[in-house]
């Protein structure tokens, strides 16, 4: 039985199909029963709960919006979004794992891979027998990925790849990495291509990123590729230029726009329940104006974000989605979730700094979510360019 | 192995349920309905028996209105093969409901009929045994372990302070208790497949009732707790109150 029944002030459930609700409820129940009981320990131990991955695969979470012929569930994008929402209600790290596996590893193989590559990898990735990661960002090339310096050089029938990738979710767990490298000159972002790199290949080293204060229940690693040799059949033949890499991010950002709502719902739910039960000055603190307004602000923002995400999903299912709309939604919804988490933490008073309450964990996680997959500011500039016609980054 | 599982659509135990203004029913506004949790054990057991046998089918059946189709599809999403909706309303009188279910089951092939031991809405605990009686079948209720072999079933039942093991010839009726198994989650593929599986509708009419519903009321408001004192010195007073006022010691 689900112990969380969602935040739905405007009966948005009535805008969902029976299957969409069933998908959401299944993931919600799974998060309640399997993830929430262990997430605090994982967070404190700085450990990704990889024991949950086979269950997630069994449910069909990975690549759930991809075709059945590759072993996927063939859900629509709204259902996919609802899955991300529920996972992130548990923890942003778990949602990140699912986003990377689905949107950043399976998607590029589906979109830019050969039929042979799809057959080889997609069913295995859906079953999580293969775990993937995505290497685009580099230590000195974050918001400006077109300037990346990883090179792939042709040598006979092989490609030889050298470079360093940073902030790689699942990097140390992964069996394969989708690595983006320049096949031409360093000043030519059009020469960027995607490669499937098996992590067991010589010259490939993944190193855990130490010192994080966010996403503690997630594997974040640095990848080092020293003349890693892959056969030409590992090149994603349909990938072409930076645009291909950004198309993957667009898929992941779509899921983040939904996921952030889940984190915000968890914080709001916790704050509301705490406010009703915590007594000060002889009455529940929910009876004080300042906490009521705080809670109402949270609820208003969550409700608006829900409507935004739902329409985003309907547009995507209709094939009418523009990437600038994804940028606006990611930017708005993650910022909203950051605010809700912070306000919830404050409402919780001293208790709010403890791991046994969720809000500070979400608050810390969301700082990463705010920053990754295109920072808040970069998404602002993407929309800014779209509405003014002038690029702010040259 | 052909198995029929009878299920019911009930309010989610997490939902707050209130008596309706007419005080003859519950106010369904904002109430979420789910597959009766005990029925999940019955479905899971049916799926496991079918999987172990290597062939057969699992049919889920319910008495209810169109909204019960969603409940049936939840069972199909878990893995049941087909569903039957007996269109008509259930009754507060378990026998009325049992009559309609028995009518729906008669003429079908089955080795076993499974139920959840009770529906969590009206808590009658009547229907499985009554269906068994109407179909002249053996019946084991509150079952926590079930083995089926060579046309016979062995069921371990929960009884006060212990267990009881019974054996009977199939076909028979089994009512599942929590602990019988760990129900699986409906997979996302299962949810997508559910709408493609057959869902037969049969008009059976509303169940009769020999009981007249007089009134539905909310439980009384819980009175506020009392803090007796703090620390070890409060213990004697607490024990006295538990003994004399609450009468729980």
Query: How many other C-beta atoms are found inside a 10 Å radius of the C-beta of residue B124?
Result: 17
Please state, rounded to an integer, the average pLDDT across all residues of chain B. Answer: 94
Q: Do B14 and A1 touch (CB under 8 A)?
A: yes
Q: Do B185 and A59 touch (CB under 8 A)?
A: yes
B41 Rama sector, left if φ>0, alpha if ψ -120 to 50, beta otherwise: alpha
Query: How many other C-beta atoms are found inside a 10 Å radius of the C-beta of residue B170?
Result: 18
Q: Do A19 and B195 touch (CB under 8 A)?
A: yes
| DSSP SS3 for A124 | helix
Burial B41-60 (b: 16+ CB within 10 A, else e): bbbbbbbebbeeeeebebbb
Reported confidence tier of residue A265, pLDDT bands at 50, 70, 90: very high
Asked if A362 and A92 count as a contact pair (C-beta separation under 8 A), the reply is yes
| Chain A residues touching chain B at CB-CB below 8 Å | 1-3, 5, 18-19, 22-23, 26, 29-30, 58-61, 64, 68, 73-75, 79, 83
Reported confidence tier of residue B225, pLDDT bands at 50, 70, 90: confident
State which H helix or E strand residue B27 sits in: strand B26-27
| Catalytic annotation, pick one of A88, A138, A270, A373 | A373
What mean pLDDT comes out for the span A135-157? 96
Is residue A273 over pLDDT 60?
yes
Q: Do A5 and B191 touch (CB under 8 A)?
A: no
Torsion sign across C-alpha atoms B2, B3, B9, B15: negative
Let me know if A140 is exposed, middle or buried by CB neighbors in 10 A (0-12, 13-18, 19+).
Answer: exposed
Closest partner residue to B188 among A2, A5, A75, by Cβ?
A75
CA–CA gap between residue A264 and residue A305 (Å, rounded): 10
In chain A, what's the furthest Cα-to-Cα distance? Answer: 79
Output Rg (C-alpha) for chain B, integer angstroms.
Answer: 21
Q: Is B210 at the interface with chain A, CB within 8 A?
A: no
CA–CA gap between residue A252 and residue B159 (Å, rounded): 53
Q: Which residue spans within B44-109 are E strands per DSSP?
A: 57-64, 82-87
ipTM confidence score: 0.88
pLDDT-above-90 percentage for chain B: 84
Reported confidence tier of residue A3, pLDDT bands at 50, 70, 90: low
Torsion sign across C-alpha atoms A266, A268, A273, A275: positive
Taken in order of first residue, the domains within chain B and their CATH numbers are 2-203 (3.40.50.620)
Look up residue B79 and give its two tokens.
């893995």
Q: Can you give the pLDDT at residue A1? A: 36
| DSSP SS3 for A312 | helix
Asked if B140 and B175 count as a contact pair (C-beta separation under 8 A), the reply is yes
What mean pLDDT comes out for the span A286-307? 98
Q: Can you give the pLDDT at residue B221? A: 84
* Tokens 């204060």 found at: A213
Under 8 Å CB pairs connecting chains A and B tally to 57
pLDDT tens profile B124-174: 999 999 999 999 999 999 999 999 999 999 999 999 999 999 999 999 999
Q: Do A2 and B14 touch (CB under 8 A)?
A: yes
Taken in order of first residue, the domains within chain A and their CATH numbers are 12-126 (1.10.540.10), 132-240 (2.40.110.10), 243-388 (1.20.140.10)
- Which chain A residues are within 8 Å of B191, Cβ to Cβ? 19, 22-23, 26, 73
What mean pLDDT comes out for the span A270-295? 97
pLDDT-above-70 percentage for chain A: 99
The verdict on whether A373 is a catalytic residue reads: yes
Q: Can you give the pLDDT at residue A4? A: 74
pLDDT tens profile B230-240: 889 899 989 99
What mean pLDDT comes out for the span B55-68? 97
Residues in B 32-61 with any Cβ partner in A closer than 8 A? 32, 34, 37
Reported confidence tier of residue A180, pLDDT bands at 50, 70, 90: very high
Is residue A191 over pLDDT 60?
yes
Q: Can you give the pLDDT at residue B13? A: 86
Closest partner residue to A29 among B77, B185, B194, by Cβ?
B185
Is residue A2 over pLDDT 70?
no
What mean pLDDT comes out for the span A69-91? 97
Q: Please name every residue paired with A271 in a beta bridge, in sequence order, or none if there are none.
A: none
Reported confidence tier of residue B245, pLDDT bands at 50, 70, 90: confident
pLDDT tens profile B177-222: 999 999 999 999 999 999 999 999 999 999 999 999 999 999 888 8
Query: How many other C-beta atoms are found inside a 10 Å radius of the C-beta of residue A258?
Result: 30
Pairing of strands B57-64, B33-35: unpaired
Best of B31, B71, B191 to disrupt the A interface by mutation (most A CBs within 10 Å)? B191
Please state, rounded to an integer, the average pLDDT across all residues of chain A. Answer: 97
pLDDT tens profile A315-374: 999 999 999 999 999 999 999 999 999 999 999 999 999 999 999 999 999 999 999 999
Q: Which residue of A has its CA nearest to B34?
A: A1
3-state secondary structure A314-358: HHHHHCCCCHHHHHHHHHHHHHHHHHHHHHHHHHCHHHHHCCCCC
Tell which residue, A204, A207, A123, A220, has the closest CA to residue A167: A220
Å between A319 CA and nearest CA of chain B: 21
Kindly give, in sequence order, each residue whose CB lies less than 8 Å from that of residue B19, ignoring residues fewer than 6 positions away: B25, B26, B27, B216, B217, B218
Closest partner residue to A73 among B32, B37, B188, by Cβ?
B188
Asked if A325 and A349 count as a contact pair (C-beta separation under 8 A), the reply is no
What mean pLDDT comes out for the span A258-284? 97
pLDDT-above-90 percentage for chain A: 98
Å between B34 CA and nearest CA of chain A: 9
- Which chain A residues are within 8 Å of B15, Cβ to Cβ? 5
- Which chain A residues are within 8 Å of B72, Cβ to Cβ? none
Look up residue A357 and give its two tokens.
């309450």
């Amino acid at each position: 039985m689900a112990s969380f029944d969602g935040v739905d002030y405007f009966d948005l459930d009535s805008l969902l199909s029976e299957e969409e609700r069933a998908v959401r409820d299944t993931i919600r129940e799974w998060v309640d029963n399997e993830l929430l009981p262990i997430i605090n320990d994982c967070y404190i131990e700085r450990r990704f709960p990889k024991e949950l991955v086979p269950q997630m695969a069994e449910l069909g979470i990975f690549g759930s919006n991809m075709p059945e012929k590759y072993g996927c569930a063939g859900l629509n994008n709204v259902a996919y979004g609802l899955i991300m929402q529920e996972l992130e209600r548990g923890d942003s790290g778990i949602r990140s794992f699912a986003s990377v596996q689905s949107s950043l590893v399976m998607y590029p193989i589906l979109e830019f891979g050969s039929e042979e590559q799809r057959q080889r990898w997609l069913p295995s990735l859906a079953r999580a027998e293969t775990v993937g990661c995505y290497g685009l960002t580099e230590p000195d090339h974050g918001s400006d990925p077109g300037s990346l310096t990883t090179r792939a050089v042709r040598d006979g029938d092989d490609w030889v790849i050298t470079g360093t990738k940073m902030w790689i979710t699942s990097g140390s767990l992964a069996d394969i990495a989708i690595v983006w490298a320049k096949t031409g000159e360093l000043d030519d972002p059009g020469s960027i291509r995607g490669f499937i790199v098996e992590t067991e290949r010589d010259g490939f080293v993944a190193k855990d990123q130490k010192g994080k204060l966010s996403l503690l229940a997630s594997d974040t690693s640095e990848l080092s590729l020293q003349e890693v040799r892959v056969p030409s059949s590992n090149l994603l033949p349909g990938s072409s230029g930076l645009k291909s890499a950004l198309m993957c991010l667009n898929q992941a950002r779509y899921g983040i726009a939904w996921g952030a709502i889940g984190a915000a719902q968890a914080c709001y739910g916790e704050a509301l329940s705490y406010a009703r039960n915590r007594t000060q000055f002889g009455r529940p603190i929910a009876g004080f104006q300042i906490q009521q307004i705080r809670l109402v602000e949270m609820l208003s923002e969550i409700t608006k974000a829900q409507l935004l995400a739902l329409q985003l999903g309907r547009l995507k299912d209709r094939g009418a989605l523009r990437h600038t709309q994804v940028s606006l939604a990611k930017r708005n919804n993650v910022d909203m979730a950051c605010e809700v988490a912070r306000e919830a933490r404050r409402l919780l008073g001293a208790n709010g700094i403890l791991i046994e309450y969720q809000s500070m964990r979400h608050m810390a996680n969301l700082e990463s979510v705010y920053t990754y997959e295109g920072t808040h500011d970069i998404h602002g500039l993407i929309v800014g360019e779209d509405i003014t016609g002038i690029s702010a980054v040259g | 192995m052909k198995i029929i599982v009878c299920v019911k659509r009930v309010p989610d135990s997490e939902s707050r349920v209130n008596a309706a203004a007419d005080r003859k029913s519950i106010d369904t506004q904002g109430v979420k309905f789910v597959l009766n949790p005990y029925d999940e054990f019955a479905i899971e057991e049916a799926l496991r028996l079918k999987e172990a046998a290597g062939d057969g089918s699992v049919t889920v059946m319910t008495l209810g209105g169109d909204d019960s189709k969603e409940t049936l599809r939840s069972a199909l999403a878990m893995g049941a093969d087909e569903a039957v909706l007996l269109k008509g309303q259930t009754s507060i009188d378990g026998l009325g409901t049992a009559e309609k279910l028995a009518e729906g089951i008669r003429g079908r092939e089955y080795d076993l009929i499974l139920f959840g031991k009770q529906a969590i809405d009206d808590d009658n605990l009547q229907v499985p045994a009554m269906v068994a009686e109407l179909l002249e079948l053996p019946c084991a209720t509150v079952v926590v372990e079930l083995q089926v072999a060579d046309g016979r079933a062995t069921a371990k039942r929960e009884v006060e302070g212990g267990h009881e093991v019974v054996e009977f010839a199939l076909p028979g009726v089994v009512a599942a208790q929590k602990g019988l198994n760990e129900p699986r989650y409906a997979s996302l593929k299962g949810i997508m497949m559910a709408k493609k599986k057959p869902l037969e509708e049969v008009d059976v009419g509303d169940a009769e009732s020999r009981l007249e519903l007089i009134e539905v009321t909310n439980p009384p408001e819980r009175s506020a707790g009392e803090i007796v004192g703090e620390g070890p010195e409060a213990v004697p007073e607490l024990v006295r109150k538990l003994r004399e006022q609450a009468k729980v010691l």
